[in-house]
Structure 1
């Protein structure tokens, strides 16, 4: 895949992606292209709720189109491991409106 500014140092790192439709997907960045389409491995979606803990839906190898990405961030695996997702409550994100 072609390289692009900003994402190259994150290849083979755990990242968190917020999509335009409000989904939070976590996985290992395996590759990307000039349109910022990304490939994640060992990925899962975190579904937030105000009534119960964060649900994690296993996605495995997953591709996200670049035009559906709102934010990409590096995830500190040590800090993330310390969070008890089953006790965490939060409102689901609303879709991004352009």
Structure 2
């Protein structure tokens, strides 16, 4: 994965990360390196289930290894705050297979 100019423009922005094992972690991008290891602040993991609403597990300051990242995307924090996650039901993501 190439960090390229894309991640530089996301520093201090709220992002969503999908990991290779299917987790969704949301937080403020504070930094990254040439191996695309990223540092998130104010982060939380969203745990999806078909039986109950989304659980949001507080992680705080969190590092994700670059080799465990599948997707990084900018998140519209204003739009995201309008979603009622406690009533959202969805199948959890399956692990990414390369």
SS at match of 2:80: helix
| Alpha-carbon separation, structure 1, partners of 2:14 and 2:78 | 11
Residue 30 of structure 2 corresponds to 30
State how 1:61-72 maps to structure 2 within 5 Å: 61-72=61-72
Farther-moved stretch of structure 1 (4-13 vs 65-74): 4-13
| Alpha-carbon separation, structure 2, partners of 1:61 and 1:34 | 20
Residue 48 of structure 1 corresponds to 48
Gaps of 5+ in 2: none
Deviations 1:17-46 (A, max 9, x none): 000000000000000000100000000000
TM superposition outliers: structure 1 runs of 4+ over 3 Å: none
What root-mean-square deviation, in Å, do the aligned CA atoms of Structure 1 and Structure 2 show? 1.0
Residue 83 of structure 1 corresponds to 83
Gaps of 5+ in 1: none
| Alpha-carbon separation, structure 2, partners of 1:5 and 1:76 | 19
Residue 15 of structure 1 corresponds to 15
SS at match of 1:78: helix
Shift of 1:5: 2.3
Query: Aligned residues, how many?
Result: 96
